[in-house]
Amino acid sequence: MNAISLEGSPYLLDDEAENEVTQRVTELDERVSLLRAHGSLNEDTIKEYYGEKRFEQVAESNAIEGSTLSIGETELAVLKGTTITGHDPAYVRDALSLDKALQRLTVMARQAESPTDISQVKELHGLILGDRLGAGVFRAEPVRISGSSHTPPKTWNEVMDSMEDWENWSKKNATLPAPIRAAILHAWLSHIHPFIDGNGRTARAITNLELVRSGYPPVIIKKKEKDRYIEALSESDDGGDIRSFLELIFERLDGALIGLELSARKKQGYSPIQERIRQKQQRQFNIWDSSINLLARTIEHKLQSEIEPLNGRVSVKIFESPLDLDDYLAICDGKSAQKSWAFIVSILIPGFATQTRLAYVGFRSKLMLQELTDEGGPSLLWSKRNPEGFPKWKGVSHEAPYAVELTTKLGAGDEWYARRIDGVIENLSTTMLAAKIANSLIDLASNNK
């Protein structure tokens, strides 16, 4: 693999982060090679996967920009071209236009010898906006990015200069691994914001152009991930910190590979028994998802009760459905699954250091599996901000609030199993566990003035 060179872009990676990124890309690359070498991905399977994801990709990308069409309604709009009752007709137009752009993208992707350039960006943007004013044309007036403090280039000349730098980097670094190019070109295009409208959809299309061109599956950034997506882009805007955005792209790419594996399984045939099992698994998944939300809100309540008298502040951010059913089943089955963020809790008490912890979903430890008689399933693990290097968040054990691992039995979300730092596993109610986590966070703050 070529050395990662971000020279000429607004982004930086130190040696440690570069090594971590290189390792992640190597793992993804090897996984794609193995799938194809073992014949798991025949032509029918790949066609089925792309067919299933076609309308989801359109629906989710447009939903980030405000569309209310579901995946099924998007499919109907694209195939029939009809107005969907109860929705703005503009959303049907947007679905048709984006689908046309993504179909064109697959043709562009066959031109492997032609690195992504300004002409391709303009062509995709022109298809995405259709017959609206400004389609495929760089803006000549200032714009503001909603929810961001970043100010993009203001004049046409500034936009053009920035896009030429973008294009020059793309051509100079044509042999960089596709996942890295996809993330850099996406974040940088969003940073420049060269169009009046349609920048986000165009940037996401460019990401998939890069991936598909190099033999990877396309990725889908879902509406439920909008907060994390925007936050990662804001970090790259503010200080050239691309780590969080790289991590998001890597995780979504890992999820896309899982989807390809599931499509291969699906080609083996439909089973009514398996369908009934899947319905039961869906109910178990729903309970797990609800239990995470309840735990996060209870932790927030306990913390507020404890630190508000001290003029302290509590912030809890819950990420919508950190897993989907396929991710959940992959973890239960002990197979690879993308790391998903559950919630972030942060407390600030005057005179003490701020304590912030991210709870994410991962595999159960051997100790937890023994406790639960080898029942597979997801666990919540803890991480804190990584002061240097990649990824942006680093797993913790001794600095975990109360327990390093938390889980519930499948289908039983009202009680938790908590593995403490000393290896002891306790069985606690949601309320009791939340109180212990809250008290632990306060202790961590008081011990780190």
User: What is the pLDDT at residue 84?
Assistant: 84
Is it the case that residue 238 has pLDDT exceeding 70? yes
Is it the case that residue 271 has pLDDT exceeding 70? no
Q: Kindly report each contact of residues 369-372 with a partner whose C-beta sits within 8 Å and lies 24 or more positions away, as own/partner.
A: 371/417, 371/419, 371/425, 372/407, 372/409, 372/417
Helices 178-192/226-239 angle, 10° precision: 80
More confident residue, 274 or 417: 417
Is it the case that residue 266 has pLDDT exceeding 80? no
Tell me the pLDDT tens digit for each residue of 183-219.
Answer: 999 999 999 999 999 999 999 999 999 998 888 888 9
Predicted confidence band of residue 82 (pLDDT cuts 50, 70, 90): confident
User: What is the pLDDT at residue 414?
Assistant: 85
Is it the case that residue 40 has pLDDT exceeding 60? no
Q: What is the mean pLDDT of the segment spanning 368-386?
A: 93
- How many CB atoms neighbour CB 369 within 10 A? 17
Is it the case that residue 106 has pLDDT exceeding 70? yes
Is it the case that residue 292 has pLDDT exceeding 60? yes
- How many CB atoms neighbour CB 312 within 10 A? 18
Is it the case that residue 117 has pLDDT exceeding 90? yes
Is it the case that residue 336 has pLDDT exceeding 70? no
Task: Judge contact between 221 and 190, C-beta under 8 A.
Answer: no
- Angle among Cα 207, 213, 217 to the nearest 5 degrees reads 70
User: What is the pLDDT at residue 270?
Assistant: 39
Predicted confidence band of residue 49 (pLDDT cuts 50, 70, 90): low
Q: What is the DSSP letter of 84?
A: P
pTM: 0.74
Predicted confidence band of residue 287 (pLDDT cuts 50, 70, 90): very high
- Angle among Cα 363, 369, 372 to the nearest 5 degrees reads 125
User: What is the pLDDT at residue 43?
Assistant: 56
* Domain annotation for the chain: domains and CATH numbers: 15-266 (1.10.3290.10), 272-446 (no CATH)
Tell me the pLDDT tens digit for each residue of 148-157.
Answer: 778 899 999 9
How many angstroms separate the CA atoms of 375 and 22, rounded? 34
- Integer-rounded Cα Rg, in Å, for the chain is 23
What b/e string do you get for 181-199 counting C-beta neighbours within 10 Å, with b at 16 or more?
bbbbbbbbbbbbbbbbbbb
Is it the case that residue 265 has pLDDT exceeding 90? no
How many angstroms separate the CA atoms of 135 and 240, rounded? 29
Is it the case that residue 337 has pLDDT exceeding 90? no
Tell me the pLDDT tens digit for each residue of 119-159.
Answer: 999 999 999 999 898 999 999 999 888 767 788 999 999 99
The mean pLDDT value of the chain amounts to 87
User: What is the pLDDT at residue 199?
Assistant: 95
What b/e string do you get for 245-256 counting C-beta neighbours within 10 Å, with b at 16 or more?
bbbbbbbbbbbb
Q: What is the mean pLDDT of the segment spanning 228-233?
A: 92
**Could you tell me what percent of the chain has a pLDDT over 90?**
55
User: What is the pLDDT at residue 1?
Assistant: 52
Tell me the pLDDT tens digit for each residue of 314-328.
Answer: 999 999 876 778 888
Query: Tokens 């809250």 — which residue?
Result: 438
- List CB contacts of 125: < 8 A, sequence separation 6 or more: 135, 136, 195, 198, 202
Tell me the pLDDT tens digit for each residue of 172-181.
Answer: 999 999 999 9
User: What is the pLDDT at residue 269?
Assistant: 47
Q: What is the mean pLDDT of the segment spanning 223-232?
A: 91
Predicted confidence band of residue 275 (pLDDT cuts 50, 70, 90): low
